Structures are given as structure tokens and as C-alpha cells.
Amino acid sequence: MSLPVLGPGLVAASAPETVQFSVRYALPEYVSFMWQHAGYIIRRRRIGTLASYWMQIKSTSSAALHFVAQGRSRNTYEFTIDTHGIVRASRSGVTLVPWGDVCSIRRYSRGFMMVLKRGTLPIPFRCLNQAQGESMARFGESVRALTRL
């Protein structure tokens, strides 16, 4: 399923251009993404403050351990994002993600977080120029508009 170009009232009629970049994640950056995302998910559950904080620490620590164990900091990932979907290539292979698998695109302090049906893809601001950042915001608007339909 490709991302449709939505008409007036939803997003601009022009489709966002292709966004291409490469990224090599650093542990502090990855932990920051996971901390903010875990906080967002846990706040939605509306449990007590102490339990929320404990779950956020536990979740972020688990993500950091997984990051180190998988050697994610040693890989460079090449991304291509367009109206057809997301392609992520690295030395370990190519991952194709259709837009139907993207639940949302959230904006955090260090970049965008693409929330997928199975997992997440952090997109740091440092890897994007201004035009690419604007395109990512438009992709996010399109995904939000699709979920409202």
C-alpha cells in the first residue's frame, strides 16, 4: 500500500519528495529516542508516577542493552523514504516497510520516530537537511490523515 496524495484540507496536494540519507546511531542518541518514546507509551496507560518511572527505566535499559548486543553502532544504515514506503539497507540486508505498516511518525527532541506495527525506526534530525525535515513532517501529516479516515 503506498501513501496516497491527499487533497485539500488534509495535507498539501503535492507529494513529499524522496528523502535519502545515511545514519550511524550512537548509544546516547538511541537511548534518548527510546526514553522519550517509552515515556509517551507509558503515559498513555495512566498508571502511577512511581510505576511509570520504573517502567520507563526498565524499557529504556532493555533497549540500550539490545542496541549494544546487536552492534547497532557499528552499522551504517541507508534510508530511502518516498510515497511507496521505506527502504533501509545495511551490510546485514535490506528491509522494505510499506506505508501500511507505519502506525505514526512522532517528533521527539532528537528527531522523528517512525512507529511501525512491529518496532520503530528513529530518524535523527542531524541526518536531514531542512527540506528533508519538512518532507518527513509532511509524511507524518499524511500518516495521521490516513489514520483518521
Neighbours of 49 (CB within 10 A): 7
pLDDT digits (tens, 9 = 90+) for 21-65: 999 999 999 999 999 998 888 877 777 778 888 888 998 999 899
Q: pLDDT tens for residues 79-115?
A: 999 988 999 999 889 999 998 899 999 999 999 999 9
- 95 or 70, greater pLDDT: 95
Cα–Cα dist 26/8, whole Å: 40
pTM for the full predicted model: 0.79
20 DSSP β-pair partners:
80
